[in-house]
Amino acid sequence: MDIKSLCNKQTLGMKSSMIRELVEMTKGVPGLISFAGGFPSPKSFPGKDLADIFYQTIVEEGEDALQYGSSGGDRELKEAIVRFEDFSFEQDEIHISNGATNGIYYALRTFIEPGDCIVSESPSFLGSLVCFEAIGAEILPVSMDGEGINTDELEEKINQARKQGKRIKMIYTIPDFQNPSGITMSRKRREELIRVAIENNIIILEDDPYSRLRYTGENIESLGSISRKIFADKEAVITVRSFSKLLGPGLRIAYVIAGKDIIAYMNSWSQKINVTTERIAQKAVTRYLNSNLLPAHIEKIVDLYKPLRDKMISMLYSCMPENISWTKPDGGMFIWIDLPEGENSDLLFEKALEKKVAYIPGSKFYPTGHERYNGLRLNFSYPTAVQIEVGIHRLAEVFTV
């Protein structure tokens, strides 16, 4: 059989996530301290509670939990999330997905066809960028400042692209503790972004895995909430939230809040792509939420991650040469480092491995053809405080010429 002749263009053009390959490279190095991964700490998983809840779920509701379920998700879980969430929406405005990436894929599957444009913050989450490219979307990168995506540049890019006859359908953003930059979009910028999106009839895809993991500063309302409350628009924003960073990504339970027509389309794609999200995990998360265990558990995670963030930032201040700067995220899992213009963190990666420390070179977080090379991402949720202390020392040696 000639398999390649049968594959579609998108499959043949697909790139793998280079981060996985980088992470593989780090595995053979004894004594290496890695800030490269994007994993939550296993210490953040409520294993004992979940073991009990999974057991009870199967014993008490096994006949239902092991059966087929709704493509949109279990009603009881939707109800529990409606109670848990910080803004209000209806049952038919929520979809339960197999993790956040799956919710994002259903949104893409609903709107995007090859050649369509998606605006993205630049840099942004590589997993989403490779998916956009895989399905044949063109990515329009827009830069950020300390308040998030530059909305003036956004309007310019939209006008320019439309003059070239391009179809812009979506703006992808991670407003809170962005991956990889750690930047949080200001309240004012959020309103500005929604105004631009509504004026131009472009959907906002709000990817929010981290907003519950805030260590300092005041919580800022989500784009989905602002759009509903201030702009009286239920359709402009698709908000994707997840239990991956709260209970564990192995559970694959996330949810999408959007206008009800959009949710209906996503349910319909879900029926064809996954049929239903794993039922036992859905029921277990329902029980976990209804037992009201989550608020205290989130406090525990904050108590776990905040000292790690603080440690990393204080180590950066005490070790790094003066020509290097970094973001000070109020939450999440990542800090972004800027080396002087002209430096190349891809080239420095091997030197770092020699010093037994690893990071992700910033170039990996830009759409193809738009790479910048002097940034890099550090993760602080997975290493220990001691590893952060030693690892940042090593990294400073790499960057001190």
Query: Which one, 184 or 252, has the nearer CB to a copy of itself?
Result: 252
Encode 205-229: b = buried (16+ Cβ within 10 Å), e = exposed: bbbbbbbbbbbeeeebbbbbbbbbe
Query: Which one, 4 or 27, has the nearer CB to a copy of itself?
Result: 4
Q: How far is the CB of 246 from a copy of itself (least distance, A)?
A: 11
Place of tokens 């239903």: 276
Q: How far is the CB of 247 from a copy of itself (least distance, A)?
A: 7
Q: How far is the CB of 209 from a copy of itself (least distance, A)?
A: 12
Query: Which one, 10 or 314, has the nearer CB to a copy of itself?
Result: 10
Helix axes 345-354 and 18-27, enclosed angle (nearest 10): 20
Output the CA–CA distances (angstroms, integers) from residue 92 to 249, 258, 261, 280, in the order listed.
Answer: 25, 9, 9, 22
Query: Which one, 283 or 311, has the nearer CB to a copy of itself?
Result: 283
Query: Which one, 58 or 298, has the nearer CB to a copy of itself?
Result: 58
For residues 307 and 207, what is the distance between their CA atoms, to the nearest angstrom? 25
Query: Which one, 16 or 164, has the nearer CB to a copy of itself?
Result: 16
**Number of Cβ atoms within 10 Å of the Cβ of 140:** 20
Query: Which one, 97 or 184, has the nearer CB to a copy of itself?
Result: 97
Q: What is the DSSP string of 65-95?
A: HTS---TT--HHHHHHHHHHSSS---GGGEE
Query: Which one, 127 or 344, has the nearer CB to a copy of itself?
Result: 127
Q: How far is the CB of 167 from a copy of itself (least distance, A)?
A: 9
Backbone angles phi, psi at 306, to 5 degrees: -60, -45
Q: How far is the CB of 317 from a copy of itself (least distance, A)?
A: 31
Backbone angles phi, psi at 138, to 5 degrees: -95, 135
Query: Which one, 157 or 245, has the nearer CB to a copy of itself?
Result: 245
Place of tokens 């994993």: 39
Name residue 121's beta-bridge partners.
142
**Number of Cβ atoms within 10 Å of the Cβ of 333:** 27
For residues 13 and 134, what is the distance between their CA atoms, to the nearest angstrom? 7
Confirm if 212 and 120 have CB atoms less than 8 A apart. no
User: Which tokens sit at 328?
Assistant: 């000070």
Q: How far is the CB of 286 from a copy of itself (least distance, A)?
A: 13
Q: How far is the CB of 314 from a copy of itself (least distance, A)?
A: 28
Place of tokens 């290097």: 324
Q: How far is the CB of 81 from a copy of itself (least distance, A)?
A: 18
Q: Quote the Cα angle for 53-56-62, to 5°.
A: 120
Confirm if 393 and 342 have CB atoms less than 8 A apart. no
Please compute, for residue 223, the number of CA atoms within 13 A of its CA located in the half-sphere on the CB side: 36
Q: How far is the CB of 6 from a copy of itself (least distance, A)?
A: 5
Query: Which one, 47 or 217, has the nearer CB to a copy of itself?
Result: 47
Q: How far is the CB of 321 from a copy of itself (least distance, A)?
A: 34
User: Which tokens sit at 290?
Assistant: 């209804």
User: Which tokens sit at 270?
Assistant: 């879900």
